Amino acid sequence: SRARGLRGGCGSLGQPPLHFCSAGNMSSRKGLNGTCSVHEYTGTFASQPVRFKMTSVCGHVMTLDFLGKYNKWDKVDPAELFSQAPTEKKEANPKLNMVKFLQVEGKGCDYIVLWLDCDKEGENICFEVLDAVLPIMNPTHSGEKTVFRARFSSITDTDICAAMARLGEPDHNEALSVDARQELDLRIGCAFTRFQTKYFQGKYGNLDSSLISFGPCQTPTLGFCVERHDKIQSFKPETYWVLQAKVNADKDRSLLLDWDRVRVFDREIAQMFLNMTKLEKEAQVEATSRKEKAKQRPLALNTVEMLRVASSSLGMGPQHAMQTAERLYTQGYISYPRTETTHYPENFDLKGPLRQQANHPYWADTVKRLLTEGINRPRKGHDAGDHPPITPMRSATEAELGSEAWRLYEYITRHFIATVSYDCKYLQSTISFRIGPEHFTCTGKTVISPGFTEIMPWQSVPLEESLPTCQRGDTFAVSEIKMVEKQTSPPDYLTEAELITLMEKHGIGTDASIPVHINNICQRNYVTVESGRRLKPTNLGIVLVHGYYKIDAELVLPTIRSAVEKQLNLIAQGKADYRQVLGHTLDVFKRKFHYFVDSIAGMDELMEVSFSPLAATGKPLSRCGKCHRFMKYIQAKPSRLHCSHCDETYTLPQNGTIKLYKELRCPLDDFELVLWSSGSRGKSYPLCPYCANHPPFRDMKKGMGCNECTHPTCQHSLSMLGIGQCVECENGVLVLDPTSGPKWKVACNKCNVVAHCFENAYRVRVSADTCSTCEAALLAVDFNKAKSPLPGDGTQHTGCVFCDSVFQELVELKHAASCHPMHRGGPGRRQGRGRARGRRPTGKPGTRRPKDKMSALAAYFV
């Protein structure tokens, strides 16, 4: 029988080379997770006929997280996260069911060839795939090699062939370096984030950030932005003076001369120089020079330079630019976009990619001329030993790519053509003048050969008027000489491009992670992106950085993270022990954490200057069940209620609106209920602030509303308003929204399913009776006589929302506009779901209702 081989790629990587590998003879289908496709074809491998399967994964298969109780912020001292808290690998996206998918497809295979991205992250994903697939592959014969690694830089027929001909093995050291980084970022980030979030959100009401996060790379990135802000604030403008002189070149033209002293900061001295020159009528030529100069073509393109240009010239943020480049790569338009190298290998085929552009409507003439006259060897850049520079692999147009992707593709292509073009040559002419005792200069440039600036016109030498021909001793009439007062100006806020340069210079992040860190400080409300893509720190960002400087400057300076990155690189090269690096780094940060906690008062002093205490923030909303005074609703993220008398804070659901719920009270604790709503098209439910933060029953979790409360007699609970099992999710229960009339809604208390029903009904109640068919609770509906949909003159009807033929036309299944997060988030958080309770079909313990019933119900709704 033929051997079977499994090829694994990432994202849409599997598709472009398939037609080439399979000679166009392949079958395709969707995998069990409905996301990844599986392509099968017959071929040869190791000189024997085989049946190939090729599929993909969506980024990392697994992610690192803490076990059990260590994900609960309120029950674990953050200091324990450095060493005592055990970690586990769990599926990065459980909804994709990736592990099971890989095991189903890998079962019965003899060989596996890994085509993941050729960087450290890709190497780590290789071993995640192997952990899932190796146990279910066919047993190996003694000494037979069954795991192979393909290394490639672009998705072209040539590169695919070359990679298949020299298959290697996955690099375990590079994978370990990623494991080390993930664990360091998880433990360090979670410990600092949890402590400072709980500490400051418990004291201040207008921080406007749901998470006060810390990150070993994120925080130094913010530090660069705040450092520039501080320079701007501390800048004091100084007045200076310059002499400006004009001489007549001919009848219609004058030359503006530059003063050789440039500027002076003493007005009296400047006035003295003016007095010494203002009576002079002639400027004498002291020297002339004409030199041919060259403006060098650019180095080959790497990731950091691409991100810089995308931000400064294309108006694309680093995260968006990286995502766009990855799409261009997986579609086969450019080579691998994550590289630090700016030097092409000696054997790199430069003419191949160039020929691909020979018929492009925008640059065909330039390309054909280069191919005819001969290309110029690119400049020698830096060889990081990872991947070749970013190169266009095939021709494309704007209509083919879309405007956003086209702009980036156009720049990448023009840059590549420029690297094999010739330098721009120009003639620089300089004339030195003397007016009295002072010296002045005039410079002009004339282009001799445009070279690479023909394809990159924005790099062209500025057009300047040619200088008159003259020689030493010639004189020109002085038409004007004056003293001009000016002021020094402060630096501007950092642009994204400048920040990327600083991060690269100081070793903060990698070419792949730099966009993520910049995006994080924007999302955390630490900086805002202003016009020109300049990053302006917010009050919160400024105070945090100043606080870190006050307590421990190394937390925000780039030095310590840069040193950690070097250690991680040594792990990747096999020159450092994974466990030793991990243990030493965690020990250093653990000591810093304890010192930070002991010294937090220093940062708190800065916080209280910029932010208001909880007691002074927000507006009165609902009464506290303990003191019966009004609690204040703090709308800024994270939204919460604060009782200043009891000094208690109650977290609320996020991403919605909160209002008082009819002044009704919880029967358990006497707190006034509030109503959370995601909008008119979404779902809403009442909740008790105290119960949501201190669950009263074992089967309730923190953050749950009344629609999940199992109180047996409360009129707002799941027990009284629950109808039956959700039609889409496993554990959810459909619950009547009693506040939704006259546009009544039934919503799932777990997922975002919403059923709109009984429009214009006067009243809808959940009956104590149940359906004899499905055991769901019956609904009793009273209609307005003028708008009743019931036959005859009927205005009342009681029936099952699932089974009743009268209700069938009155119910429509929809989805909420958004599914809001119920719990406070943060690194290392896990969100539990629990089993749905309430009015569900009973049946036998441990059994589920027949699936065909639910399927029929879903079809009926839709």
Largest CA distance in the chain: 114
What one-letter code names the amino acid at 396? A
- How far is 62 from 99, CA to CA, in rounded Å? 9
Q: Are 278 and 240 in contact (CB under 8 A)?
A: no
Sign for the CA dihedral angle at 498, 501, 507, 510 comes to positive
Q: Are 672 and 686 in contact (CB under 8 A)?
A: no
Q: Are 9 and 115 in contact (CB under 8 A)?
A: yes
Cβ partners under 8 Å of residue 138, min gap 6: 4, 108, 109, 110
Q: Can you point out the beta strands (E) in 678-760?
A: 684-687, 722-725, 733-737, 745-748, 753-757
- Coil, strand, or helix at residue 528? strand
- How far is 188 from 589, CA to CA, in rounded Å? 7
- How far is 604 from 190, CA to CA, in rounded Å? 20
Which residue in 192, 201, 231, 188 sits closest to 604, CA to CA? 201
Beta bridge partners of 5: 52, 111
Residue with tokens 């009015």: 839
- How far is 795 from 786, CA to CA, in rounded Å? 9
C-alpha dist (Å) from residue 775 to 724, 731, 768, 801: 8, 16, 11, 11
Residue with tokens 């003879």: 25
Burial class for 487, CB neighbours closer than 10 Å (0-12, 13-18, 19+): exposed
Q: How many residues does the chain have?
A: 862
Phi, psi angle pair for 424, to nearest 5°: -80, 125
C-alpha dist (Å) from residue 331 to 20, 324, 335, 401, 404: 14, 11, 10, 10, 15
Phi, psi angle pair for 4, to nearest 5°: -120, 135
Locate 115 and state its tokens. 């085509």
- Angle, helices 558-572 vs 218-234, to 10°: value is 150
- Coil, strand, or helix at residue 11? helix
- How far is 137 from 808, CA to CA, in rounded Å? 50
Phi, psi angle pair for 566, to nearest 5°: -65, -40
Q: Are 817 and 679 in contact (CB under 8 A)?
A: yes
C-alpha dist (Å) from residue 755 to 263, 721, 728, 800, 862: 75, 15, 12, 14, 10
- First-to-last alpha carbon distance for the chain, in angstroms, is 47
What one-letter code names the amino acid at 366? T
Pairing relation of β-strands 3-10 and 48-57?
Answer: parallel
Locate 20 and state its tokens. 């080439």
- How far is 416 from 389, CA to CA, in rounded Å? 9
For the chain, what percentages of helix, strand and coil (3-state, to nearest 5) are there? 35, 25, 40
336 has catalytic annotation = yes
Among residues 336, 426, 526, 548, the one annotated as catalytic is 336
Half-sphere exposure for 372 (CA within 13 Å, toward CB): 7
- How far is 643 from 649, CA to CA, in rounded Å? 6
- How far is 547 from 25, CA to CA, in rounded Å? 63
- Cβ atoms within 10 Å, residue 742: 13
Burial 691-708 (b: 16+ CB within 10 A, else e): bbbebeeeebbbbbbbbb
Q: Which positions are catalytic?
A: 336
